[in-house]
Structure 1
Amino acid sequence: MSGSFVDFTLLARATEDTRTFGAGEIIFREGDAGTEFFVVKSGKVAIRHGNKTLQLLGEGEIFGEVALIDSAPRSATVVAETDTVVVPVSEKQFLFMTSESPYFALNVMRVLARRLRASNTALPDG
């Protein structure tokens, strides 16, 4: 496994369905229902919990996938850091891709594992 970044750019190029957000616009809020995840086609987004920025994501990265996996409300707020274009991927598309492509499912798991490791590293020793 080379590097920890998984590139989902191909998924973003597979459709013309996009959404555009200006810098500072909220893409979704913590607590919202999650019926889709997103691929960043261009720009940067910030994943925030309260007033803390947990992660900055750019082109080819995904966010919002956790709500599709566990059917729980969004666990963070996502804000466009710059003018941003995202590609929405519906729950139906997500289920199809994970069932038809084990490699896609493995890549999503790699993203989740990388984020979990980063969160664990950020925890204070105690």
Structure 2
Amino acid sequence: MITSNERLLLVEKVIILKSLTIFSDTPENILADLAPLMQEEDFEKETLLFREGDTGDCMFIIHRGEVRIHKNNTTLAVLKEKEVFGELSLLDAETRSASASCQTDCTLFRIDQEPFYELIDARPEVARGFIKILCQRLRAQNEKSVQSRNL
């Protein structure tokens, strides 16, 4: 039986998911199916979450803190609250293209690939959010590439 505290946590997770670009167009009832897949984990500053070349099998949502995405000593991005990383690993089990480390103490939600696959089999609408954000990122990367060539 679900207690009121667990129900509140489910509602909070749905609100967090809805606030993310990747899921902003996904209906709340579908997010309520995704929310139980979110596993909350705390990490200390400088924890290596994964290394470039590791096989990916999950994505992360930053609830609190900052995560540095890097290749060796080169910082590619510093991600903050309500940002997502590792989302490609929900769609395929390829190797990670960069490393991720906690820049501060962090609370992250992890969503694993297998339960996610089961969810998108039942709810294909969830996959639409992923496709949308991946297309946006690809367009942004293409624009950066064009701009750098024009310099």
Q: TM-score, normalised by structure 1?
A: 0.75
Distance 1:70 1:95, change over 3 A: same
Counterpart of 1:17 in structure 2 is: 39
Counterpart of 1:6 in structure 2 is: 22
What is the one-letter code of the residue matched to 2:81? E
Residue ranges of structure 1 left out of the alignment (5+ in a row)? none
Higher relative contact order (CA 8 A, sep 6+): 1
**Partners in 1 of 2:107 and 2:63 — Cα distance?**
5
Q: Which of 1 and 2 has greater Rg?
A: 2
**Partners in 1 of 2:122 and 2:104 — Cα distance?**
34
Is contact 1:42–1:58 with CA below 8 Å preserved after alignment?
A: yes
Identity %: 30
SS of aligned partner of 2:77: strand
Moved more, 111-120 or 73-82: 111-120
Is contact 2:39–2:111 with CA below 8 Å preserved after alignment?
A: no
Query: Per-residue CA shift, 1:11-49, capped at 9, x if unaligned?
Result: 796467322222222111100111222222221212223
**Partners in 1 of 2:49 and 2:111 — Cα distance?**
14
CA-atom RMSD in angstroms = 2.8
**Partners in 1 of 2:23 and 2:103 — Cα distance?**
20
The structure where helix makes up a greater share of residues is 2
Q: TM-score, normalised by structure 2?
A: 0.65
> Is 1:95 aligned to residue 111 of structure 2?
no
Is contact 1:7–1:60 with CA below 8 Å preserved after alignment?
A: no
Superposed, which structure 2 residues align to 1:1-126 within 5 Å?
5-6=21-22, 14=36, 17-123=39-145, 124-125=148-149
